[in-house]
Amino acid sequence: MAAPRVFVTRIIPDQGLRLIRECCDVDLWMDELPPSRDVLIEHARGVDGLLTLLTDRIDGEVMDAAGAQLKVISNHAVGFDNIDVPAATRRGIPVGNTPGILTDATADFAFALLLAAARRVVEGERYVREGKWKTWGPSLLLGPDVHGATLGLIGFGRIGQAMARRARGFDMRVLYYDPSAPQPEPGLNATASDLETVLSESDFVSLHTPLTPETRGLMNRERIAAMKPTAILINTARGPIVDAGALYEALAEHRIFAAALDVTDPEPIPADSPLLALDNLIVVPHIASASVATRQKMSLMAAKNLIAGLTGEPLPNCVNPEVYQR
């Protein structure tokens, strides 16, 4: 019996890739950049499974190009806004993701961005490299304190709660806005609030909500204007949650102190974006989960989702479980 054919749209860490190769006929996209739309559709033709990344738009056209034998789509990510999940469900295709395992790595990185923006670490490093450091100065690169400050979390799922745990070490007051959040674990000392209160009272606002029609553009001009002029915005969630034009205006006019972004809209951010000219903005290339151990675990989970779908077993992590009730 022939091995199932799968298309893996990018090189993933070796543990997951090795597991897939043990049982599948693998078509692996080797380029650093993702396949173009036409190439994606061409390589999808006739496959039994797809292992995809957030950069791959997987819609009904791709699924139909693959054919009726397509059994599973496994996304190498927690988010799955790149996949038309209802279209997959209508076609009886389970969709997998990789939740849970990147919670701590992402929270670590979000807090690192918070600290770096507050204490102007990137500005300071650039200041030294540009030969500007001539002497110590009492007013050089001053920033706000983190300890004892108020942290506002928009989204209070796994990563939001992990941020709250880290905030305890800095004696921070924690507010959160998330209408769908469960009761927080004991000891987090986090207070549920409305969005306006979180924005107006927080010294740091950190975004941890999924991208949905309701959260797209959530941080618009009005909501950014509700933040303190000394506040810092951190986004490790999804780029389109923040209105890039409104953020630029707020930073350029110093209506908020700074921002730190792991994600942008569009992504990657264009090299000529006016945001990149701002000293009070940190931008990094979507690397919040980029620890060696976390990415290996992600690759294994994505591989196990893929293999389960190919063998007719329920996916260990399935975002559309209703597909099994058809």
Domains of the chain: 5-100+292-325 (3.40.50.720), 103-283 (3.40.50.720)
Can you tell me the distance from the alpha carbon of 281 to that of 251, in angstroms, rounded to the nearest whole number? 8
Can you tell me the distance from the alpha carbon of 132 to that of 177, in angstroms, rounded to the nearest whole number? 42
Q: Which amino acid is at 261?
A: L
Burial, 169: exposed, middle or buried (Cβ in 10 Å; 0-12, 13-18, 19+)? exposed
SS (H, E, C) 110-158: HHHHHHHHHCCHHHHHHHHHCCCCCCCCCCCCCCCCCCCCEEEEECCCH
Could you list the mean pLDDT of each consecutive 10-residue stretch along the chain, which spans 326 residues? Answer: 94 97 98 96 98 97 98 95 97 96 96 98 97 96 98 96 97 96 83 97 97 96 98 98 98 98 97 98 97 97 98 97 92
Token pair belonging to 323:
């597909």
Q: What is the pLDDT of residue 234?
A: 99
Strand partners, 311: none
Q: What is the pLDDT of residue 90?
A: 97
Q: What is the pLDDT of residue 181?
A: 83
Q: What is the pLDDT of residue 91?
A: 97
Token pair belonging to 318:
């399935």
pTM, whole model, 2 decimals? Answer: 0.90
Q: Which residues are catalytic?
A: 238, 267, 286
Q: What is the pLDDT of residue 301?
A: 98
Among residues 46, 48, 49, 17, the alpha carbon closest in space to that of 30 is found at 17
